[in-house]
Structure 1
Amino acid sequence: MKPLIGRDTQLCMSLSARPGNFGSRFHNRLYELTGLDFVYKSFTTTDLPGAVGGIRALGIRGCAISMPFKEAVIALLDGMAPSAAAIDSVNTIVNDDGVLTGHNTDYGAVVDLVADLDRSTSFMLRGSGGMAKAVAAALRDGGFADGTIVARNEQAGRALADLYGYRWLPEPEGSAAMLINVTPLGMTGSDAGMLPFPADAIAACDIAFDVVQYPPATPFLRAAAEAGKRRITGTEVATLQALQQFVLYTGVTPSEAQVADAAAFARANS
C-alpha cells in the first residue's frame, strides 16, 4: 500500500511548454501499485534556469523534460548519460544528492522497440526535430544503415541525414520496409486527417511506426492496419520511455502487469 504523502515523500516532476496528463497518471499509478512513497506532478515554466535550480535545491528526485527545453537544459546540468550525449538532447533529469545528470529515454525506448528487427531493414523517417534525432540515432546505433530522412526543411533535414549517415529527401519517394512518422501529421487539429506517407508507400511497407501519441490510432496506423502491416505506436514509445524514467528515479522495476495497468490507466484518464 502506498504511504500517505508526508515529509519523506519524494517528488518527481516534468517540465514542458504544454503539460499533458499521461506522464503524471502513469507514474502516480505505478507508485500506487508498487507502494512507493513518491508523487509526480507536471509543470510548465518561462524560467528554465530557475526551475532546474529548484530541482537541485529542493531535492526533487527526477524531472521529465519535453519541448522546447530538451537542448536548452543541457548547459544547466552536471553531466550527460550516454543516451543523451549521443544526440545532445535530454528528456530526463536524475538528481543524485544535488548532482543533475541528463538522460534520454526516448532514445532508449526506440532501441527497445526495434531490437527484434532485421538490421538490413530499410527505413524512411519523416521529420527533423528533436524526436526525429532520437529515433535516427537509435536506428544508427542499432545497426540500421539503409535509411532516408524526409524533411521539407532542407537545412534541418540534410543536417540530420548527414549526422547519422543517411540520405535526405524533401518529400517521400518510393517506399521502404519501415515507414516512421516523427511529425505532427495525424494529430488532432488541422493535421488530424493527414497521412505522412502516400497510400501506395504504406501498402508496400512491412512496418508502420508512428510516434504520435494522440490519437492512439492515427490515420497512418489505421491505414497500416487495414493493409495488414506490423505497427509500432506512439503509445508504446510513451509507455517505454516513461517506464525507463520510473526505473531511473526509483530503482524499482515494476512487473509487466503493473506497467500494463499503469499505461491503460494513463490512456483512459489523459
Structure 2
Amino acid sequence: MSKLSINRTTKLCMSLSARPGNFGTRFHNHLYEALGLDYVYKAFSTRDLEGAIHGIRALGIRGCAVSMPFKEACIPMLDSLDPSAEAIGSVNTIVNTVGHLHAYNTDYIAIVRLVAETPIDRDIPFLLTGSGGMAKAVASALRDNGFRNGTIVARNKTTGPALAEACGYRWASGLADAEAGMLINVTPVGMEGGPEVDDLAFPQAMIEAARVVVDAVALPSETPTIKAARVLGKRVVTGAEIQTVQAVEQFILYTGQTPTEEQIAAAAAFAQGKTAA
C-alpha cells in the first residue's frame, strides 16, 4: 500500500501519551506498508482523557496504545480487560471492536515471551529498580512465571512496598550493597535526553556479580548498563527488544496479521532510526 493511499476506508490506530515518541508511529506504519494493509497510525497527546477514550469509540478508531500517565486512569472508561491487564491493573493497549473497548497490557505479554525464550533459572535472586507502570508489568510477569526470590528497589515509599507486596517480593529503598543474579532496571537511568543518560543503573560491582542484566530503557537500546554487561559477557535483554515485542503484539491485535521475523526486524530498525525511509 502506498503511503499516499489513505482513503475513507483506511483504519486508524493511534497512541495516547503525555510525551509522544516516534517509535510506534514508525514501526506500525512501516509494517502496514510492508504487508499492504489499509491502516495508518498516529501519535497523540491529550489533556482530556475521557474525551479521547469516547473519541476512540465514537470514531471507530481500531486500536490505541496507552502510555503514562494514562495506563491506570483509563481503566474505568473501558468495557473489559484481558487477563494481561487485569492482573496488574494497568493498560497499554486498547482494541475497539464495533464500539467495545477491550484492553491489554502487551508490556506484560512481552516480558512473558522474552522470559520464556531466555533460559533463566527461576530460583535466581533478582533486583528490580522502579515501581511505575512498566515495573508493575515486569514484576507481575516474573511472579506469574515462577520467579519467587525478588526485591523491588524503589525510593517511593508508597508504590514500592505496594508493588513488592502485590507480587510477594521484598522491598528496599536503595541498592546498598545488595547482590543478585539478575538485575532489572525499570527507571529512566540511562535514557536518552535524561539527566542520567551516562549513568549506570547499578554499581559496576553488582553488574560484575550478576548473570543476567535487563534494561527496560529503549532509547538508546545500548544503555551504559547494557554496554557494561556486554563487555563482561553477561546475558542481556534490552529495552529495544521489549519495545519491539510489545509493539508486535499490538500490531497483531489491531490487524489480525502476523509479520515475519524479517519484516519485524526491518520495522524495528526503521523505527529506531537505523535505516532510511
Of residues 205, 227, 230 in structure 2, which corresponds to 1:222? 227
| Equivalent residue, structure 2, for 1:96 | 97
**Do the aligned partners of 2:151 and 2:170 also contact (CA within 8 Å) in 1?**
yes
TM-score (normalizing by structure 2): 0.95
* 1:175 aligned partner, one-letter code: E
Deviations 1:39-86 (A, max 9, x none): 000000000011111100000000000000000000110010100000
Tell whether the 8 Å contact from 1:2 to 1:34 is kept in structure 2 after alignment: no
Residue of structure 2 in register with 1:127 after alignment: 130
- Describe the shift of the 1:42–1:148 C-alpha distance in structure 2 as closer, same or farther (beyond 3 A): same
CA distance in 2, matches of 1:100, 1:190: 37
How far did 1:2 drift? 5.0
- 1:176 aligns to what? 180
Q: 2 CA distance for matches of 1:94 and 1:177?
A: 37
Paired residues of 2:217 and 2:223 also in contact (CA < 8 A): yes
* Counterpart in the other structure of 2:11: 10
SS at match of 1:89: coil
Aligned length: 270
1:162 is aligned to 165
Deviations along 1:92-147, one digit per CA (max 9) or x if unpaired, are 00000000011000000011111132222221100111110000000000111111
Cα deviations across residues 5-64 of structure 1 (Å, max 9, x unaligned)? 111110000000000000000000000111111000000000001111110000000000
Counterpart of 1:114 in 2: which secondary structure? helix
The amino acid that maps onto 2:249 is: Q
**Structure 1 residue aligned with 2:268:** 263
CA deviation digits over 1:197-254, x for unaligned, max 9?
1111100001110000111111111111111111100000110010000000000001
Structure 1 position 200 matched with structure 2 position 213: no
- Between the aligned partners of 1:97 and 1:121, the Cα distance in structure 2 is 45
Distance in 2, matches of 1:122 and 1:94, equals 36
| Alpha-carbon separation, structure 1, partners of 2:148 and 2:164 | 11
- Are residue 147 (structure 1) and residue 136 (structure 2) matched? no
Work out whether residues 188 and 194 of structure 2, in 8 Å CA contact, stay in contact via their aligned partners in 1. no
Structure 2 unaligned regions, length at least 5 = none
RMSD: 1.3
Paired letter, 1:207? V
Counterpart amino acid of 1:150? V
- For 1:118, give the aligned amino acid: D
- Unaligned 5+ runs, structure 1: none
Determine helix, strand or coil for the equivalent of 1:168: strand
Identity %: 60
What's the counterpart of residue 42 of structure 1? Answer: 43
SS of match in other structure, 2:194: coil
C-alpha separation in 2, matches of 1:260 and 1:2: 20
SS for the counterpart of 1:95 is strand
